[in-house]
Structure 1
Amino acid sequence: MNWKFWQKNKDTANPKKKKSKGREWTDAIIFAVVAATVIRVFFIEAYTIPTGSMERSLLVGDFLFVSKVNYGARIPMTPIAFPFAHHTMPLTGTKAYWDGVQWKYRRLPGLTNIKRNDVVVFNFPEGDTVALEQQDHNYYEMVRSLGWKAVNSQFTIVSRPVDKRENYIKRCIGIAGDVVSMKNGLVSVNGKPEKLKSTGQITYAVKFKTSEVNFSIFEGMGFDLQADITGLSQNTYEFTGTEPMMEQVRKLDFVESVQENTKPEGEQDLGVFPHDPARKWNVDNFGPITIPKKGWTVKLDSVTMPLYERSIRIYEGNKVEKVGKDWMINGQKADSYTFKMDYYWMQGDNRHNSLDSRFWGFVPEDHVVGKALFIWMSYNDKGSFFSKIRWSRLLKGIH
């Protein structure tokens, strides 16, 4: 028998069915979705700066690439979810995930550990509980202000898994094991003062010698006249700027004085972590606080528990109760606790306009999403299309 002839006839008798255009498009879309999801989960993800908490390092309208590789990609903890939607479907407003399946926290090996001054994207630690009608507000802050009963009776309250909480971006001020504190707006890490970098900013009280001031001069220094300068009293204004910018202001002959506008030491703000009446802390004066480290054992008492109870109970999943003067962890009396994860202290570079660790405390390692690498696009809302683009910021690295 002629084998080649038989094989040819066999192929002719059973020709391969050609895919329809619809099937080809479907296969291509499925492949693209799978490939994009793998890249987004394990390698790199786009991120947009929504608020001014990191100005002037990062501006509203900056589009970033965030690396999952640097710290090691986090294995999805909520694996069944709609592609490209974070926690809410864009049109229906319904959940974009199913939390019936939850995987334990695992992370692939990374290139490096989180270092001080890294700009990090992470899931909002206090985003475990959300009032759906007030998603722009922190649920726990609402409870402290209005009371638990009022909040839970007025709004629809839902809980979210770790990887489906809002994404935040801040600068890592302290890593696990560090001791952080702040005095008169200046952060200290392990007892060493750490001044704001040249792109970080706070508010200053600027007093002029005269009321006749041409404010356009400040535009040339980089100030936004509407956003960065506010009247306080006669001839005195609040400026928001970096230290180099404020040095230029000091040199003007019509400026009488420039002072950092910080809260006085000892003035209490219960909105500041750990919301403890026994601590007279505020956004410019707090600490010292030891950041928990995996394997570190802390004594449990009235001094430490306001700082660490949430980490022990919520982030590390223990049942914590106080019975009389004793603390019970998972039904057992405990006078100490050993942490299972590393934690971090994150703050915004726009120090007086940032909701950060000063308000909600530590960021657990399982909340870390990735490291911000560079800005691939940036635009503002002023001018024509091409003038809106901040050309000088394109492909700019983040430091």
Structure 2
Amino acid sequence: MAKDKEKKKKGPIREWFDSVLFAVVAATLIRWLFLEAYTIPTGSMEKSLLVNDFLFVSKVHYGSRTPMTPLQVPLTHQKIWFTEVPSYSDAIELPYFRLPGFTDVKNGDVVVFNYPGCPERPDQFGGFDKYPVDLRTNYIKRCIGIAGDQVSVKDAQVYVNDKAMENPEGMQKWYTLESTTSINPNLWNKYDVSERGQGTQDGKYYYAINATESAVNNLQGLDFVTNIYPDIIAADDSLTPYKTFPYRPDLVNWNRDNFGPVTIPKKGMTVDLTNELNFALYKGVITTFDHNDNAEVKDGKVYLDGQPITEYTFNQDYYFMMGDNRYESDDSRFWGFVPEDHIVGKAVFIWMSIDADGNLLNKIRWKRLFSLIK
């Protein structure tokens, strides 16, 4: 009886390749099913989240989406690393499906989602992201309203279903501070305030600042500070440059501080499209995001499969998102609703935070490491 042949040993290159392949497959599965790492690139969520906070986003909370664009280089998003070469092919596109999660998106959650854009937006940000849904640019904001909620903003205070929403601790707004003396910039660092500008008039010093409510309370206690007031745009201000969704000043004169009310689309909810405001709010949703293959707007009406419609029933849920840095956030006030199929996951904790302006000893924001996101 012949001896069994000894298994041929793998060479070092083969072993290296197998190890790398296993690591890539494992990382891809973890990234898709469980957790994905993100970095905060802008200040739209300050002071709740800071630029260069590194955080983990849970896919299991709301349920992981199955890939809609399966032909993609692993561990990439839109482009191959350090190039302008697309990392995917849209030759195969799969329908949206989400695995079961253990919770739903709730009011107040900090959520990562794919930026939907706004087909009606009449400026340099106009149109909507042309990437496939699961490859559109990632945004992070706080969920203000869930499907079916009525959201409004009155004098910079958010209301959900006519009830004032509790403001996040790190929420920032613009204020004007009046002082009897020139203020040392070190004071802003002490109270974690950003100065936006300054001037003098009639012997008084005026400072435009961006600050949290707690910082404002601390500044008001200083003897040389005579007044601090928020820079709120009045509801009837027709000269404001801060025009908002749905960009119909002939119907509504909304702005960043006085917006709505709007009802957030909910799956199964029916709206009357003969109402001009409903038509303005929801036509882009119907034609762009609500999984209709043949929908268009022409002659002031919405057409489905070539037929004009006077009412419409939504096919999925939508959400209203806002940044905690309220005056430096591009959010639902300016581009509308986030479709359910654009939801990526829930931001859960910060694992690293780097201060780009810090010195060698305080480059890392140690207090933020492994902190939960609230």
Q: What's the TM-score, normalizing by structure 2? A: 0.93
| 1:385 aligned to which of 339, 360, 364 | 360
Letter in 1 for 2:71: I
User: Cα distance, 1:355 vs. partner?
Assistant: 0.4
Amino acid at match of 2:340: E
- The amino acid of 2:344's aligned partner reads V
**What do the CA deviations read for 1:109-166 (whole angstroms, capped 9, x no partner)?**
0010000000000000018x9xxxxxxxx9863276xxx9xxxxxxxx9821001100
1:1-399 residue pairs with structure 2 within 5 A? 6=1, 9-11=2-4, 14-126=5-117, 141-142=123-124, 159-208=130-179, 210-223=180-193, 227-234=194-201, 235-268=205-238, 269=241, 271-278=243-250, 279-301=252-274, 302-318=276-292, 319-322=294-297, 324=299, 326-399=301-374
> Alpha-carbon deviation of 1:213?
3.4
- Deviation at residue 253 of structure 1 after TM alignment: 1.2
- 1:91 deviates by 3.1
Distance 1:75 1:326 in 2: 34
Whole-Å separation in 2 of the counterparts to 1:205 and 1:270: 18
How far has the Cα of 1:384 moved from its partner? 3.3
- DSSP-derived class of the 1:317 partner: coil
What residue in structure 2 maps to residue 152 of structure 1? none
CA contact (8 A) 1:141 1:271 kept: no
* 3-state secondary structure, aligned to 1:219: helix
CA distance in 2, matches of 1:391, 1:143: 36
Distance in 2 between residues matched to 1:246 and 1:167, nearest whole Å: 32
CA contact (8 A) 1:283 1:358 kept: yes
Q: Residue deviations 1:335-367, cap 9 Å, x none? A: 110001000000000001000101100000000
Moved more, 235-244 or 347-356: 235-244
* Structure 2 Cα separation of the partners of residues 314 and 297 of structure 1: 17
Is contact 2:243–2:254 with CA below 8 Å preserved after alignment?
A: no
Shift of 1:212: 3.6
SS at match of 2:106: coil
RMSD, aligned CA: 2.1
**Match for 1:203: what amino acid?**
W
Q: Distance in 2 between matches of 1:159 and 1:352?
A: 27
Contact 2:121 2:247 in 1 (8 A): no
Query: Structure 2 CA distance, aligned partners of 1:368 and 1:91?
Result: 26
User: Shift in Å at residue 324 of structure 1?
Assistant: 4.6
Question: Equivalents in 2 of 1:289, 1:107: separation in Å?
Answer: 27
The answer to whether the 8 A contact 1:186-1:195 is kept is no
2:290 and 2:183 map into 1 onto residues whose CA distance is 56
Could you tell me how far 1:311 is from its partner in structure 2? 0.8
Cα distance in 2 between the residues matched to 1:74 and 1:213: 51
Q: Tell me, yes or no, if the aligned pair for 1:375 and 1:397 is still in contact at 8 Å.
A: yes
Q: Structure 2: which 5+ residue stretches go unaligned? A: none
| Distance change in 2, residues 1:140/1:162 (3 Å) | farther
How far is 1:200 from its partner?
A: 0.7
- Structure 1 residues 76, 213: CA separation in 2 closer, same or farther (over 3 Å shift)? same
Name the aligned partner's letter for residue 318 of structure 2: Y
Instruction: Supply the AA of the counterpart residue of 2:10.
Output: K
How far does residue 323 in structure 1 lie from its aligned partner after superposition?
Answer: 5.3
Offset at residue 277 of structure 1 (A): 2.2
Cα 1:139–1:336 shift into 2, 3 Å: closer
Q: 1:204–1:143: structure 2 CA closer, same or farther, 3 Å change rule? A: closer
CA contact (8 A) 1:85 1:96 kept: yes
Name the amino acid aligned to 1:392: K
Given the superposition, is the C-alpha separation of residues 322 and 389 from structure 1 closer, same or farther in structure 2, using an over 3 Å criterion?
A: closer
Whichever structure has more helix as a proportion of its residues is 1
- Larger Rg belongs to: 1
Check conservation: 2:195, 2:207, Cα contact below 8 A.
no
Q: What amino acid is aligned across from residue 307 of structure 1 in structure 2?
A: L
Per-residue CA deviations over 1:80-125 (Å, capped at 9, x if unaligned) read 1011110012233111100110010000000100000000000000
Q: One-letter code of the match for 1:313?
A: T
Distance in structure 2 (CA, Å) of the matches to 1:303 and 1:185: 22
Determine the structure 2 residue equivalent to 1:134. Answer: none
> What's the CA shift string for 1:178-227, capped at 9, x where partnerless?
0000111111000011242221110111111x23434433432222xxx4
Partner SS, residue 159 of structure 1: coil
The percentage of aligned residue pairs carrying the same residue is 47
The 1:62–1:42 alpha-carbon spacing in structure 2 relative to 1, beyond 3 Å, is same
